[in-house]
Every structure is written in structure tokens, then in C-alpha cells.
Structure 1
């Protein structure tokens, strides 16, 4: 029912037995538009018309009219689900190798991709895994809106965020909003891609980070999707859980990241902070955060102590 149809229907509920002229006076619609709306409502079974020369319109009781419409819509949805299940059985039973070609599908066009993304998230039943990193082409609110229905369906969401998100405007606050919504968030230096995986049966990867809304790859069950799932679990173990203040639970990590190992090597060579930041292609703020992370991970209060502890760990690993 359109907004105009609803207004006419409400008018008839308030003034049953009204003529089309009465509807025009009450709704301020034109005579032509009012007759068109009355005809639409009659076709939908929401009003009845008397056989008089000047027809009078009576609204059908809402509990009767809308109950029938709901039943009709439910019947249509059940038929659509049945059709989807029948069509899903055709591809595996085809006996040809052409089904393998559909394991990766290229989605192009902003409108098409946004529609696919909406269907993608709505189809999640158990869990969703996300690789998250800047740049962001959409406001964080759009991400939150897609996750609301998942939370209502008790879909588990785990996200690995690149540490550069902490430097992005609104990034730390968005992480806190996700945590408050019951999602699991972890931080990792060097998340390679943006991607989402639902129920380990389908994945979505944008082709370009700076224009993520223009094109993407839809991954169906395949070796490529299995590899992406395995890569997520590997990084999840390496990533650091986020606390209520965006701090990292360093002791929960099971291994040291390659980025921090590289940082240790550069520090050991006696390079200055600005030179190291330039080598790693990071900002000075990010460099200071990694130094703090390194000291916490090595349980050190100073850089000298961190270097000493790192050297002792290396000695123990080498067995010398």
C-alpha cells in the first residue's frame, strides 16, 4: 500500500460510505488521482463499492483485509523459498564442470553491488568473518545498519581490524560501538584486504580499496574461499583482542607479528625513530604505538629493556 492509498483507506475508515467526491474533499487529492486510488484499493480487496449511480465506498475491516494480504504474502514467500531450493539442486546435479566457473563472480556497478551486499549480509545464519582496514568510502553508520539485523538473528561476528583504523577519524569510536553490540574485534598490523565471509560458504571482496562500492568478487564454495577462511583464522590467532578503551590485550596473543620483528631489527641497528617510521612507511604516531605495543609484549618498561628481552628470546629460540 502506498502512502496515498493508506491516506484514502484511513479516510474511509473515518467516513465509511464516502463517495469519490467526499474522498477528494477529505484528502485534497485531485478527482482523477482519488478515483485511481480507490480503484487500486478495491483491486487489493481493501474497499468495496456500492452499485449506486454515485458509488459509495466502504472499507473492509483491517483485521480481515490485512490478514488475507499477510497470508497471501507468506504463501508467496514460501513459494519463492521452494523455488530457490529446487534451483539450488540443479547446479550440483548437472554433471558438468561448468559449475566450477561460478565459484568466483565479478559484480560491477554501484547499485548492483550494494544490492548484493544487502542480500549477502541478510543471508547470514551463523557467523560472519570480516577483514577490516582503511580507507573507508562509506560512513560507519551504514556498516552498523547492516549488522543490526544480524545481531537480532544471533549471528556471530568476528572482525580483524588493521591498526591504522585507530588513526582514521571515528575509527576508535566505531570499534567501541561494535564491541558494545556484542561483536568480537581484534587488531592486527597489516591486514592485507577488505573482505567478508558468511557461514564459510560465501565471501565478498572489493576489487579496489578506494572505490569499494564500484566492483567486487563474490566467492562461492571453492579452494579460494577455503584459503580465505584459513587466512582469517591464522590472523585471528595473531591479532590482539581489543579492550574497552581500544587497548590491546597483549598477553592473549599467541605469536609476535612480522611487523614487530622487523621493528626490533631496525631498532637493533641503531636507526633513529624518524628513519624507522620512514622505512616502515608509517606515521610517527603509529610508530610510537608500535613501540608501546612492543614494550608491553616483551614486558619491558624501557626500550633498552625491550631490546634485552628480545635478544634473550632470540637466544632461547636458537638454543644457544
Structure 2
């Protein structure tokens, strides 16, 4: 570890309002993830009272996380997340900080890789720490973000829209798989329309089991609990677990029902009967329940049954199951042709 910061790093520390001692503690945690305060004292040579104060300051800045054990263990937040987000917020004043972040990012793989204990999954506990990580996480997206979305929602839709606003400015492509139960959640259908209007892709799937966000297929955030999604979560880095989550998203995306470009699943005025029946076939093939389909098509149950009967006739099916099966085969065939 360098004993004295270079001129470039001194400029970065000044822009970040970070002291050389805080940087020294942060570097020691990059080299030795999961260290206790006593272990940080040994690694850094800084007195224990000062180390505890520095760890607290770094945690408040969102640069380190602390485990909930009786004797806390500390982990440095990935440099590309912690520093990259700050640079994105202070582009003009923190250009030097990005250089420092890139240097720090090279420490962890080298030092941890030799011991074979590099963290690929990081537990983040505490609402404040998780909310900071979420903001940093979305700011790091460069090309694409993929999301699993489902109720319950503890925050307003406006906070979600604000989080995605910066991604739109950076031309980050966003795809979201929404559980169909969102349609019955207050404001859920309108929020889907708002996301579509903002240029995001939305699809519906019945039975989305988790909430999750994946950026550039290189990092993911997964809440540990649906009922308290902002109390604790997992940060996934490149690993087999992350690859599996990405593959699962790809599979469910293909099975999901695309939401129309106008953001309205139920608008049928001005469409031909063929278009209406094609939309009905897609919804039936997705496995949505009758009342959900009728609600989204904004038709009565009687009209719904009449259209299903007409669809069965056109697909030469004697049962609704057969109609759904034939529709699914036809959709798969058309998709293969494209």
C-alpha cells in the first residue's frame, strides 16, 4: 500500500471530501474483505479509536458495509460502484476520483484471487446502506438493465421513475418483466404505461417469484425479502449465480406477454377483429386468468366468452386448452420465422 497519495489521488480525495486515512482503511478492506476493526488496526497501523471513527465515516459515505454480527466485519463496496456513482453525480469536479477508483479496483482481484476467497455475493444490511447502494447501482449502468418487478411496493412509483431518469439520459436500454398482479395493484397499470412512454420495454408474466435488477449482465441486486425489500439485499458480482439469474431472465422474457407500444393492454377501439383475436390468443397462451384478461381488454365477461368461442373456431379447437395450445404453437412458429 502506498504511504502517501500521489498528486492525482490528492485531487481526487479533495473532490470526494475524503481523508488519506479513510483511503488507507478502505484499501485495507479491499485487500482483506470481512475484517474486524481490530484486524483493520493491524493492517493499517492506525490506532483503534481512530479506526472506529474512520469506519463509521466510510459507512456513512456508502463506501463500506458492516455485517450484523456481534463483532462487526466490514466489506469495502466495489470501487466501480462506490466511486463510479459519485463521479456520475459530480462529473466535472470528480474526474480525478475515477482514476483513483480504477486503481483501487485492481487491488481486490489480485489480493483476493491468490487466497481464493474473492466475494461474488455481498450481503447489504440496513435500509440506509441498501438505499445508497441502489442509487449507486443504477448510476453504474452503461448499456442495459433487466428487471424482475412485482408487488408489494413500499416506495412510490415516482421514486422508481426518478431512479430511471438518469438511465434514459445515458441511453441505457431497460427491459422489465412485471408480474400480472401489478395490474391489480393501485396505480400499477398506469405505471407500466408511464414506463413505456419513457422508452422502456415492459412484459407481463404470471408468477414472477422475485424482485431483481441486473446491470450490463455484470452485477445484480436482489432483495432478501419481498415484504421488506429495502431492508436487506444481495449484491451479485460475476459468478455462476449471476449467470443463472441472467439466463432465467432470458427464458422468462421469451415466455412473457409483450405490452403494446401504446402502453395500453386493453385498448381495442379501431382495431380489426383479427387484431383483437390475436391479442386474445397471446394473453391466453401466457396463462393469464380470465378475469385479468377481460379486465385488461376492458370487455365484459360475456364478450370475453364470445371472443374465446370465435378464437376456438378460427383455430379449429374444441376446447379452450386446445385453443391456447394451438395459439402458443402458432406464436412460436411465427417467432421462428422472424
Return the TM-score normalized by structure 1: 0.59
Q: Specify whether residues 289 and 123 from structure 1 end up closer, same or farther in structure 2 by C-alpha distance, changes over 3 A only.
A: same
User: In structure 2, how many angstroms separate the alpha carbons of the residues matched to 1:162 and 1:203?
Assistant: 19
**Corresponding residue for residue 265 of structure 2:** 247
Q: Specify whether residues 147 and 232 from structure 1 end up closer, same or farther in structure 2 by C-alpha distance, changes over 3 A only.
A: same
Q: Secondary structure at the match of 2:138?
A: helix
Unaligned runs of 5+ residues in structure 1 are 1-72, 261-281, 315-320
Return the TM-score normalized by structure 2: 0.56
Q: Secondary structure at the match of 2:152?
A: coil
Q: Contact conserved, 2:151 with 2:182, CA < 8 A, in 1?
A: yes
Structure 1 residue 192: deviation in Å? 1.2
Q: Specify whether residues 285 and 91 from structure 1 end up closer, same or farther in structure 2 by C-alpha distance, changes over 3 A only.
A: same
Match of 2:114 among 93, 96, 111: 96
User: In structure 1, how many angstroms separate the alpha carbons of the residues matched to 2:321 and 2:252?
Assistant: 25
- Structure 1 runs of 4+ aligned residues shifted over 4 Å read 73-76, 248-257, 287-293, 301-305, 310-314
User: In structure 2, how many angstroms separate the alpha carbons of the residues matched to 1:139 and 1:236?
Assistant: 25
**Corresponding residue for residue 306 of structure 1:** 320
Structure 1 residue 306: deviation in Å? 2.4
User: In structure 2, how many angstroms separate the alpha carbons of the residues matched to 1:288 and 1:186?
Assistant: 18
Q: Contact conserved, 1:240 with 1:250, CA < 8 A, in 2?
A: no
Q: Specify whether residues 77 and 197 from structure 1 end up closer, same or farther in structure 2 by C-alpha distance, changes over 3 A only.
A: same
Structure 1 residue 129: deviation in Å? 0.3
Q: Specify whether residues 133 and 227 from structure 1 end up closer, same or farther in structure 2 by C-alpha distance, changes over 3 A only.
A: same
CA RMSD of the aligned region, Å?
3.7
Question: What pairs up with 1:240-319 in 2 under 5 angstroms?
Answer: 240-243=257-260, 244-247=262-265, 250=279, 256-257=285-286, 259=287, 285-286=291-292, 299-300=311-312, 305-309=319-323
Match of 1:217 among 220, 224, 234: 234
Structure 1 residue 90: deviation in Å? 1.6
Q: Contact conserved, 1:163 with 1:189, CA < 8 A, in 2?
A: yes
Q: Contact conserved, 1:300 with 1:309, CA < 8 A, in 2?
A: yes
Q: Contact conserved, 1:161 with 1:188, CA < 8 A, in 2?
A: yes
Structure 1 residue 154: deviation in Å? 0.3
Question: What pairs up with 1:1-320 in 2 under 5 angstroms?
Answer: 77-94=94-111, 95-100=113-118, 102-243=119-260, 244-247=262-265, 250=279, 256-257=285-286, 259=287, 285-286=291-292, 299-300=311-312, 305-309=319-323
Q: Specify whether residues 311 and 165 from structure 1 end up closer, same or farther in structure 2 by C-alpha distance, changes over 3 A only.
A: closer
User: In structure 1, how many angstroms separate the alpha carbons of the residues matched to 2:195 and 2:177?
Assistant: 12
Q: Contact conserved, 1:106 with 1:218, CA < 8 A, in 2?
A: yes
Structure 1 residue 86: deviation in Å? 0.8
Q: Contact conserved, 1:240 with 1:252, CA < 8 A, in 2?
A: no
Q: Contact conserved, 2:203 with 2:253, CA < 8 A, in 1?
A: yes
Q: Contact conserved, 2:282 with 2:327, CA < 8 A, in 1?
A: no
Residues matched between the structures, number: 219
User: In structure 2, how many angstroms separate the alpha carbons of the residues matched to 1:255 and 1:89?
Assistant: 51
User: In structure 2, how many angstroms separate the alpha carbons of the residues matched to 1:230 and 1:127?
Assistant: 15
